[in-house]
Amino acid sequence: MTGASGVLGRAVVPRLEEDGHEVRRTSRRPRAGWVRADVATGKGLAEAVAGMDAVVHLASATRQYRKAGEVDVAGTRRLASAAERAGVRHLVYISIVGIDRIPFGYYRHKLAAEKVLQARPIPWSILRATQFPQLVDERFLPLASRLGVLVADPGIAVQLVDPRDVADRIAVLLAAGPSRQVENFGGPEVETSEEIVRAWLRATGKRRPVFSLRLPGKTPRAMREGALTTTDQPTGTRTWRAYLAERYTPVRDSQA
């Protein structure tokens, strides 16, 4: 598995082990018991895939979007090619809902990576997920709130999905075998970005004014047209509110 150290990977590894899979985790960094591999250079990929029945490919330039060409597009090509040489029978790739509708550079690279995979001989399945709560809670909103105010476009709806639900879906795809289909997978609720922001402020106890503003540009417009959501079934079951409760409710001391 690539991307095993990431937010999604940390949910997928234990889920697949629960199903009895022997998971070989890869990372660019040396970690005891893991295989060191980098999709951007190809180093370690042959060792990573040798003897594997399937590859779950989660690695992505999520922290440096400008590297997405090397990591996501060329990296997917390198990994697929190594997996084909090793006789791997299924490659599951995680992608993002709406990448074909939202003109955002990183999304264009994810779409190109899907196309790379679809043109390869290796049998594949692609799961496009919506945004994870951690992305909003740990990256977007802390960054946005540095301005002192939060801006929410009331027309943009999101459908956050918990990585544990995505992990369940990946387990189902692996068990079913290569579908050669692109499947959308979202969370259980569609909410406006304003609702997401206000729930986060309540849960974290932060105080910021929230401004409703119709954001200009093609990317927000595509988002207002629903590109971040899907009507496809099944969906995940864990909500944004449940995530916030789990993350921010203080653990009571049972001794007290």
Ligand X SMILES: NC(=O)c1ccc[n+]([C@@H]2O[C@H](COP(=O)([O-])OP(=O)(O)OC[C@H]3O[C@@H](n4cnc5c(N)ncnc54)[C@H](OP(=O)(O)O)[C@@H]3O)[C@@H](O)[C@H]2O)c1
Tell me: does residue 6 bind ligand X (CB under 6 A): yes
Q: Mark residues 134-173: x for contact with ligand X by CB under 6 A, - for none.
A: -x--------------------------------------
170, with CB counted inside 10 A (0-12, 13-18, 19+), is buried
Nearest residue (CB) to ligand X, 149 versus 243: 243
Give the C-alpha separation, 86 to 202, whole Å. Answer: 51
Give CA separation, 180 vs 52, 137, 162, 231, in Å: 19, 33, 24, 20
Tell me: does residue 129 bind ligand X (CB under 6 A): yes
Q: What amino acid is encoded at 156 in this protein?
A: I
Nearest residue (CB) to ligand X, 62 versus 90: 62
Nearest residue (CB) to ligand X, 3 versus 194: 3
Q: How far is the CB of 117 from ligand X (least distance, A)?
A: 12
Give the C-alpha separation, 104 to 78, whole Å. Answer: 24
Tell me: does residue 28 bind ligand X (CB under 6 A): yes
- Enumerate binding residues for ligand X (CB under 6 A): 2-3, 5-9, 27-29, 38-40, 58-63, 71, 75, 94, 96, 110, 129, 131-132, 135
